[in-house]
Amino acid sequence: MRQDHLITATQLSRDDIEAVLDRARAVADDPAAYADRHAGRVLALCFFEPSTRTRMSFDSAAKRLGMNTIDMGDVDSSSVSKGESLSDTVRVIEGYADALVLRHPSEGAATLAGERVDVPVVNAGDGAGQHPSQTLLDLHTIREDHGLDDLTIGIMGDLKYGRTVHSLAAALTEFDANQHFISPDSLRLPRSVRFDLHETGAQIREHDELDPVLEELDVLYVTRIQKERFPDENEYHRVAGEYRIDAETLEAAADDLTVMHPLPRVDEIAPDVDETDHARYFEQAHNGIPVRMALLDTLLENAEAAEGTEVDR
Amino acid sequence: MSDHELRVSKIRDGTVIDHVEGGQALNVLAILGIDGSEGFGVSVGMNVPSDRLGRKDIVKVEDRELSQSEVDVLSLIAPEATINIVRDFEVVEKNRVTRPDGVTGVLSCPNRNCITNAGEPVETRFDVVADGVRCDYCATILRSDIADHIDV
């Protein structure tokens, strides 16, 4: 995998992750020092699927590095609606931008895009696959609260289709983390993610309810269970209700438990949790800015270095 | 001459794929893209007794030698297979198949939501993992059902 793309969390070593997070911390401490770093450069936002926070967060991060951004707009109003392939779309956009952020409904879309273009590509979500930039900001949030080693984390909700879960679980294998996965039977981790976890010898356990593990946890990462994953609405309401937390649920938790969520939430975290010391999901979302600044800075730097190598040859 | 050899006659030139797992012979032909219309002489023995496999299939194709990519995929559905190249009735080369590191362009990804199934100009690519293959694009793992996804 080229070091100027970020396609999947499985490509990231512990050193890669720590380097980006260290840089994110430096960015957060002194944003002015980064304000003009990539002035004159252009970031293309290519979202083939709706997105609010990821799109805006990359837009904001790029602008805070001095970059301009161009946005493909909604798929309905773009050439995609005329039947253009992703391969062609990214080849064209490559000529307009110095880096490309891609969200696409198909798994593997970012891998394909990365093979088609020379500029850095960031996977901002490919179907039920991966969402590695979210993972970096998740890790940043965890690291600020607890550090990333000797960590016990519970990941709850839709583990089957949740791309943030797939990326986070993979990245945590680089650290000394005990991972507990809590979900209904029908939404357990997919075979491919389980395979990677197994290959790394990661310590994982799976549960169908939160209660037995809650008090052990340093971090509880909650994800949304989507209605469209269930054939019938009653079944959805029954299952989703079982994986909903409120302030009362958290009374059994450790005092320093951090509750996270990639957002948007629907009702899996009751609003009364917002008022507890556990809630960290809004800070988590805000961490998207320094982390994505650090990520873009790193990828553009790596791309430059790669170009330099070519010249030397 | 053993029992199974009596059932399938010798060929002059071509390839004999022996020790194919029982029931996989038609998939072997699918991998080779042979459906009879090419005019090659093809003999198939299915579920013939075998010391090594219990029951095995055997495929003989006249006037056709296998390419490396064909052998690679063959190894996934018939890991015990031996490939005999026959010239003028003599076996001039006898090879066991070996598992490749990857397979390109032969299998289709079973994940309907994979980008390789989205009408893109892209060849599928699978890594060979412990007990199956894995899509390089969407990471889906294919195990016992590999033969169902041969796309030739």
Cβ contact A86–B115 (<8 Å): yes
Name the strand (E) or helix (H) holding A28: helix A14-29
Q: Is B137 on the interface with A (CB under 8 A)?
A: yes
Residues in chain B: 152
Domain match, A281 and A293 both:
no
Domain that holds residue B20: 3-96
Neighbours of A2 (CB within 10 A): 16
Q: What is the DSSP letter of B3?
A: H
Cβ contact B115–A191 (<8 Å): no
Cβ contact B120–A86 (<8 Å): yes
For residue B152, what pLDDT is reported? 56
Interior angle at CA A90, CA A89 and CA A96, nearest 5: 100
% of chain B residues with pLDDT over 70: 93
Taking CB atoms and an 8 Å cutoff, what residues of chain A touch B132? none
Q: By three-state DSSP, how is residue A122 classified?
A: strand
Q: Which residues contact A107 (CB under 8 A, 6 or more apart)?
A: A126, A127, A128, A129, B111, B113, B114, B115, B137, B138, B139, B140
Q: How far is CA B85 from CA B11, B29, B89, in A?
A: 10, 16, 10
Domain match, A115 and A150 both:
no
Among chain B residues, the shortest Cα distance to A166 is held by: B139
% of chain A residues with pLDDT over 90: 85
Domain match, A21 and A101 both:
yes
Q: By three-state DSSP, how is residue A59 classified?
A: helix
Q: Which two tokens stand for residue A11?
A: 């490509």
Is the pLDDT at A176 greater than 90, yes or no?
Answer: yes
Domain match, B11 and B62 both:
yes
Domain match, A45 and A18 both:
yes
The alpha-carbon radius of gyration of chain B (Å, integer) is 16
Interior angle at CA A174, CA A172 and CA A11, nearest 5: 95
d(CA A177, CA A175): 6
Q: What is the DSSP letter of A107?
A: B
Q: Based on the number of CB atoms within 10 Å of its own CB, is B107 exposed (0-12), middle (13-18) or buried (19 or more)? A: buried
d(CA B9, CA B86): 13
Taking CB atoms and an 8 Å cutoff, what residues of chain A touch B135? 108
Cβ contact B121–A87 (<8 Å): yes
Is the pLDDT at B4 greater than 60, yes or no?
Answer: no
Q: A169 pLDDT band (50/70/90 cuts)? A: very high
Is the pLDDT at B6 greater than 70, yes or no?
Answer: no
Domain match, A95 and A180 both:
no
Q: Residue A292 falls within a domain, yes or no? A: yes
Question: Span B9-18, mean pLDDT?
Answer: 89
Give the total number of structural domains in chain A.
Answer: 2
Domain match, B90 and B132 both:
no
Taking CB atoms and an 8 Å cutoff, what residues of chain B touch A49? none
Last residue of one domain, picked from the residues B58, B78, B96: B96
Domain match, A304 and A259 both:
no
Q: Which of B113, B116, B139 sits opposite A192 (nearest CB)?
A: B139
**Paired strand residues for A99:** A43
Domain match, A296 and A164 both:
no
Can you tell me which residue has the tokens 């190249």? Answer: B85
- Maximum mean pLDDT: which of A137-146, A299-308, B34-43, B88-97: A137-146
For residue B132, what pLDDT is reported? 87
What amino acid is encoded at B149 in this protein? H
CB A208 within 8 A of CB A159: no
What residues of B form the annotated binding site for Zn(2+)? 109, 114, 135, 138
Domain match, B14 and B75 both:
yes
Domain that holds residue A194: 132-285
Number of A:B CB contacts under 8 A?
Answer: 62
Give the total number of structural domains in chain B.
Answer: 2
User: From the candidates A84, A111, A117, A121, which should be mutated to test the interface with B, based on the most B CB atoms within 10 A?
Assistant: A111
Instruction: Record the pTM.
Output: 0.89
The CATH number for A127's domain is: 3.40.50.1370
d(CA B112, CA A123): 20
Q: What is the pLDDT of residues B71-82, one digit of tens each?
A: 887 888 888 899
d(CA A110, CA A57): 19
The CATH number for B136's domain is: 2.30.30.20
Question: Span B20-48, mean pLDDT?
Answer: 87
Can you tell me which residue has the tokens 């600020």? Answer: A144
Q: A311 pLDDT band (50/70/90 cuts)? A: very low
Q: Which residue has the higher pLDDT, A269 or B66?
A: A269
For residue A91, what pLDDT is reported? 97
Mean confidence (pLDDT) of chain B: 86
Taking CB atoms and an 8 Å cutoff, what residues of chain A touch B129? 195
Q: Residue A248 falls within a domain, yes or no? A: yes
Q: What is the pLDDT of residues A265-307, one digit of tens each?
A: 999 999 999 999 999 999 999 999 999 999 999 999 999 988 8
